[in-house]
């Protein structure tokens, strides 16, 4: 399928108000889309279905499913990427009342941490922006060009809304019992090099995420390995990243249990998980909706080849089908509402946090999306 025809099909889905998702995986050139054939709003029951899932932060039981068996999959092989420089002339003090409110929230969180009630909590805020061009497919193309290393998507359901994003973080990848999970935390601005020094606050944040994942997986995953933390670039930002791999036990653990164990991670919630989530729900004073939820391919079937040597030395190949699941944390995202974009940004708060610096971090993260609008 050609580039032009691909986007014409997406345009047709929007015009007909039919659900769809279009996306490109990290470091890949091809783009896929699932075009749902009906208007039905579907949810996962137990994550055994096949399709594309879109889950909110607060309740995985309301995970929306675009089912494979009720959709047409289309794709084209390559979309040109660019190296556009993201810039903004917005003042940090443009919304001073928003800044004061966010800094007060951070201060409250630090006080709770120092009292021993929390170790880390991730606090976020939303921001509304008037668009000069609110065409979601135009914005999607800009995200594709600007973020070749991220999971870039455009998701739509007439009963839920329209979301776009370019997230740097994988939640979980499972293929034939082989599992990998990303531990991503810590943020600083990219200034032309990835050879940077990380402060104690960022190192501690990233270690919280790694330790949480290891603890949650220990009952269901064996042969666990953790890579060294390295600096990872996403747009105009740098993060600390480790990859955790292992083999899922054959003791009957299911996808729902794994997702419930991992989501939300300390990268988007905090430590301890329950206490941090309660603090967020009671103090952020807005609904995150699908921000810091997760999205991606659920139980897609991939074809593999197995070579077998028979006694007469003839080589024979056997095909096998394996379920492949790859889910991403919904960061660096926005929701379109008419001619406005609702942006969502946040940051991890620890005892080392400085409210002014935390505000600046959310501003830097907002530039990931603002840079293409």
Average pLDDT by stretches of 10, the chain with 373 residues:
93 98 93 97 95 96 97 88 47 68 97 94 96 95 90 97 94 92 88 92 90 91 93 87 92 85 93 96 96 97 53 47 88 95 95 94 87 84
Supply the pLDDT for residue 315: 47
Supply the pLDDT for residue 90: 40
For residues 41 and 160, the answer to whether their CB atoms sit within 8 Å is yes
> What three-state secondary structure class fits 143?
helix
Q: How far apart are CA 68 and CA 70, in angstroms?
A: 5
Q: How buried is 74 (Cβ within 10 angstroms: 0-12 exposed, 13-18 middle, 19+ buried)?
A: middle
For residues 167 and 369, the answer to whether their CB atoms sit within 8 Å is no
Predicted model pTM: 0.89
Phi-psi region of 341 (alpha: psi -120 to 50; beta: other; left: phi over 0): beta
Q: Where are the beta strands (DSSP E) in 249-293?
A: 270-271
Phi-psi region of 313 (alpha: psi -120 to 50; beta: other; left: phi over 0): left
Supply the pLDDT for residue 95: 66
Q: Please identify which residue in the block is written with the tokens 């940077």.
A: 196
The CATH architecture to which 3-305+316-370 belongs is 4-Layer Sandwich (3.60)
In the chain, what are the helix, strand and coil shares in percent, each to the nearest 5?
25, 40, 35
Supply the pLDDT for residue 91: 39
Q: How far apart are CA 51 and CA 68, in angstroms?
A: 5
Supply the pLDDT for residue 104: 97
């Amino acid at each position: 399928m050609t580039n032009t025809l691909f986007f014409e099909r997406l345009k047709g889905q929007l015009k007909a108000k039919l659900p769809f998702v279009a996306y490109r995986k990290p470091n890949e050139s091809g783009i896929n889309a699932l075009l749902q054939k009906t208007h039905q709003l579907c949810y996962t029951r137990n994550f055994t279905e096949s399709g594309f899932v879109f889950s909110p932060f607060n309740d995985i039981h309301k995970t929306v499913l675009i089912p494979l068996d009720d959709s047409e999959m289309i794709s084209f092989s390559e979309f040109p990427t660019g190296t556009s420089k993201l810039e903004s002339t917005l003042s940090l003090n443009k919304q001073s009342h928003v800044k004061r409110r966010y800094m007060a929230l951070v201060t409250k969180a630090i006080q709770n941490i120092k009292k021993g009630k929390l170790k880390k909590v991730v606090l976020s805020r939303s921001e509304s922006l008037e668009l000069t061009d609110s065409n979601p497919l135009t914005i999607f193309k800009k995200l594709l060009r600007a973020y070749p290393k991220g999971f870039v998507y455009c998701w739509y359901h007439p009963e839920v809304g329209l979301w776009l994003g370019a997230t740097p973080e994988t939640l979980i990848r499972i293929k034939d019992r082989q599992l990998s999970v990303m531990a991503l935390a810590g943020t600083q601005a990219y200034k032309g090099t990835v050879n940077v020094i990380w402060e104690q606050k960022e190192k501690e944040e990233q270690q919280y995420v790694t330790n949480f994942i290891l603890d949650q997986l220990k009952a269901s995953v064996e042969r666990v390995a953790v890579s060294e933390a390295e600096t990872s670039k996403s747009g105009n930002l740098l993060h600390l990243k480790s990859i955790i791999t292992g083999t899922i036990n054959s003791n009957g653990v299911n996808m729902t249990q794994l997702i419930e164990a991992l989501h939300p991670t300390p990268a988007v919630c905090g430590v301890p998980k329950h206490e941090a989530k309660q603090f967020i729900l009671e103090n952020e004073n807005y609904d995150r909706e699908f921000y810091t939820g997760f999205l991606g391919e659920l139980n897609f079937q991939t074809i593999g080849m197995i070579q077998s040597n028979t006694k007469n030395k003839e080589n024979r190949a056997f095909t096998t089908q394996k379920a492949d699941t790859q889910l991403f944390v919904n960061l660096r995202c926005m929701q379109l509402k008419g001619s406005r974009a609702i942006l969502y940004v946040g940051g991890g708060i620890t005892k080392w946090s400085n409210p002014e610096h935390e505000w600046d971090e959310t501003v830097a993260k907002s530039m990931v999306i603002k840079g293409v609008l």
